[in-house]
Structure formats: C-alpha cells, structure tokens
Chain A
C-alpha cells in the first residue's frame, strides 16, 4: 500500500501540489486523470523522489519516501516510466533495457520481455532514440519490468501513439496487472483507463477532486471527459 497524505510540492517558487491525498492498494491499478498542468507528473516525480521541495508524507512499506533519495526509493521496489519516456540517446536499445539495475528477484525474464516486445529484440543494437515513438514507449516499460520492482509508475504511456500501439500497451498493462503488479497510471485519455484501472483519481490544480471505483467509472465518464476537455 502506498499512501499519500497532504503532499505539497514546488518547482522553485511555483507551488504545484496543494495537499494531495491518495491511496494505492497493493496489486491494484490506480489511474490519475487530469488536464495538462494538473500536477499528475509532479505527483509521480514526488513519489520517485525526483522533486526538489516537498512536504507531507508518502508512506510505503512503513517508511516515508519523502525522506529518501530517489535511488533509495527505487531500491524499495518502485520504478518509473517517465512521460518523455526517458530513453537515453547515447545508449543502444539493449543498453537502455539493461540500464536499470535489478533491485529484487522476480523481475520479468528476458525471454518473456522479448516475447511481449519483439521489436526491442530486433532493434537491439540501434540507438535508443532511433526507435519509433511506440517502440520507445515499449522499451521504457520493458526496462522497468526487468528490475523486479513491483510498483510501477506509468506516466501517460499512450501519449501521441497510434491506436494499434495504444491497444498493445493496454494489453501489456493488463498482463502485468494479472501478475500482481501495483500500477499508478497517469492518463488524459479516460477511455484508455476505463476497465483497466480498479480505482480512478481525478485531479485538478494540484489536488485530488474525486475518487471513483472502477465500477462507477462508466456512469461518470461524461463528467470525467468534461474535466479532461481542454
């Protein structure tokens, strides 16, 4: 269980999270929905220890993550797939895949990863940034599945991708969900998370404004779409 309480975060002088509260039960997929600038990515970065100034508490396995460095947080079993995908341009595809160190047993083995994402195997010796956007996204997800981290932060994995790739990513997330991973899924696409997430949090102006169970989501989708509409 990951519990966020009264989380505030700043970029320099700019106060972007205003007392966020959120629970992420173990083994569940939780979506975080909101417009651009609502603070979704900041929330992910705060969990991962990548924000400069934060107050409040993020408790995970009995410790407050805000007190740890990001590498220590990673070693607790949390891994991020960042919004910009974070593929390293100076590394080959294979080097990108193997960069995150294995932090626990039980990570996905290489055969399984290559079966899920065959392109990554084929293009192993290309530079990471020579891949298409969809392939880069696959690589960004694949490399954190290898590490044994059981809590995954996926920041807009479908952004800017073709529908066929989006479907493939949805299939992958479903598959890793069945393996018992805990997932926080940041999205602007309500239809992507419908049926995929167990709990939905709606976010606006650095705060959670509503929480919907998976079952309630369909009935409220009009409201969600309105929130997300630019």
Chain B
C-alpha cells in the first residue's frame, strides 16, 4: 500500500471535511435552538458561491470581498426567510420545518438553474492563493491549504463563541429552556431570527470558500447537503464540537477510502451512517434522550 497516496488522499479528504464541518455546525446550531431541520442549508451554501460569482462578473469584486459580502447578504436573506416562513412552524412538529425548507430549497435551486443555466460556472482561485505547498508527501494547492486552515479556525471560533461567551451562554440557555430565558427579559424571537441568519451566513461563507474548488452550479448545495445530513446523523444532533469533529473525521474517512478502495468512496459515509444508526442511534456525540 502506498502511504503517500493514502496521506495525500486523506489531506484532500480533509478539505471536503472542512465543508462538512462548516455546514453541519450551522445545521446543529439552527436545529438546537429553532428545532428546524434546515433542508435549505445547501441552497444557502450554493447561493454563497453564486453571489461570489456574480460579484466578480458584474461588479468586479474579487474573492476577499465576496468572502465578506456574500455571507452578509445571505445572512440578511436568512432573516427574511425566518420572519416570513420559518417562525410560523415552531409550534408544529419538526417534520413541517423540514418540508418547508426542502420546498424552499427546490424552489430556489430551480430559480438559479433558470437564471444561470445548469452547467457549472468557473470561479478562479484568487491570485494571492495560487501555487502549492510542499507537504513532503504531496504538493497541496495553496488554496486548499487555505481552506483547511481558515475552515478549522472558523469552526473553532464559532465553537468558542458558543461555549465561552455570554452571547453563547444565552444561546445555550435558550436551547435548554426558551420560555424561561424570555421571562428573564431576553427577546427570544429576535434571537431565533438572528441565529437562523448567522447559521445560513456560515453556510454562505462555506459556499464562497468552495467556489474555486467545486464548480459553481445550482446543484452543488444539494449534493453536499445530502452528505452533510449523514454527517449530522453520525455526529448526533445538537453537539457543536461533535459536528465539527465528525465533519472533519468523515472527510478523512472518505479520503482514506479513496486511496484504499476507491469504488466505495462515495458511499462510505452512508455506510458509516447506517452502522451508527443501528449501533448508537443518538450519534457519536449526541446526548441521550
């Protein structure tokens, strides 16, 4: 067995893992507080990439600008979506939130397909991140190295905010007992709206980061979100650190499989999901019900 091959495939797998982690992190935050299984998460990821593309094409705004503007725009769109649609479903079963966001995802994806066409659009790597880094066992494109570092920092920063700041304490408390948190004078409905906005902004940020790697196409969100839901099932809903670790870990597992048994690489995560569902239904990091 070629160790270099394994290491390099696992390194590339880590790049995917970063996207899994960013997306499952947002899903976990939204589900924890709002109780909504946000099927539209992939679409916000895709929209992030499309906004980056459109900013470049129409306004000449490059990658770094897009990295700030796209999450802000999508975050605001998320606020509107929460206020107009999602908030009406909190009293109902989780299934309704899933159906609504799935419908929304299909609608938006169809709309983008009509507007931009079904084929992938190119988005080039920013000049400052071209070239490659020599890792000893492989030449890793500089951009992918950046994605890994920036993505891990982003995930850890999110985790730190949630676990170690007063804002995060409010968020955790409202996840435990929203009625009491509101009775202490905190405007919980506004908090839910902002959390949804922040969660989807995170997805959009992931989308911008993915734009130079994946091609910018209308179905890029759907294809990644299916895997991400498997990641969430494996990690267990509701654990922030768990979703980060699981996302990165499954990226590595996928890479490893690509090296040792390539035919299984696209299914290995789902196989892992089935095993976890049977052996430990609450997931690796999920709390006991």
Contact = CB atoms under 8 A, between A and B. Distances in A.
A17 to B, nearest CB: 18
A227 interface: no
A101 B185 contact: yes
B133 interface: no
B169 interface: yes
Chain B CB within 10 A, most for which of A86, A98, A144: A86
A132 interface: no
B181 interface: yes
Contacts of A90: 172-173, 175-176
Interface string A76-100: 0001101000101111000110111
B132 to A, nearest CB: 43
A147 interface: yes
Contacts of B188: 71
Given A50-B179, A82-B180, A86-B180, A71 B173 contact: no
Chain A residues touching B, range: 20 to 34
Interface in B129-167: 166
B179 A70 contact: yes
B172 to A, nearest CB: 4
A147 B185 contact: yes
Interface residues of B, number: 18
Interface in A161-207: none
Given A71-B188, A98-B169, A89 B176 contact: yes
Interface in A136-167: 144, 147
Interface in A84-126: 86, 88-91, 95-96, 98-101, 103
Given A88-B177, A98-B166, A103 B185 contact: yes
A67 B183 CA distance: 14
Contacts, number: 63
Chain A CB within 10 A, most for which of B172, B175, B184: B184
B184 A74 contact: yes
Given A95-B169, A98-B166, A69 B177 contact: no
A208 interface: no
A71 B176 contact: no
Chain B CB within 10 A, most for which of A48, A70, A75, A144: A70
Given A71-B183, A71-B186, A90-B175, 13 more contacts: A49-B183, A50-B179, A69-B187, A70-B179, A70-B182, A70-B183, A71-B182, A71-B184, A71-B185, A74-B184, A82-B180, A91-B173, A99-B169
For the complex of A and B, the 10 pairs showing the least CB-CB separation, nearest first, are: A74-B185, A100-B184, A90-B172, A95-B169, A70-B183, A88-B173, A88-B176, A86-B180, A70-B182, A71-B182
Interface of B: 166, 169-170, 172-173, 175-177, 179-188
Interface of A: 48-50, 69-71, 73-75, 79-80, 82, 86, 88-91, 95-96, 98-101, 103, 144, 147
20 contacts: A50-B179, A71-B183, A71-B186, A73-B183, A75-B185, A79-B184, A80-B183, A86-B180, A88-B173, A88-B176, A89-B176, A90-B173, A91-B169, A91-B172, A95-B172, A98-B169, A99-B170, A99-B173, A103-B185, A147-B185
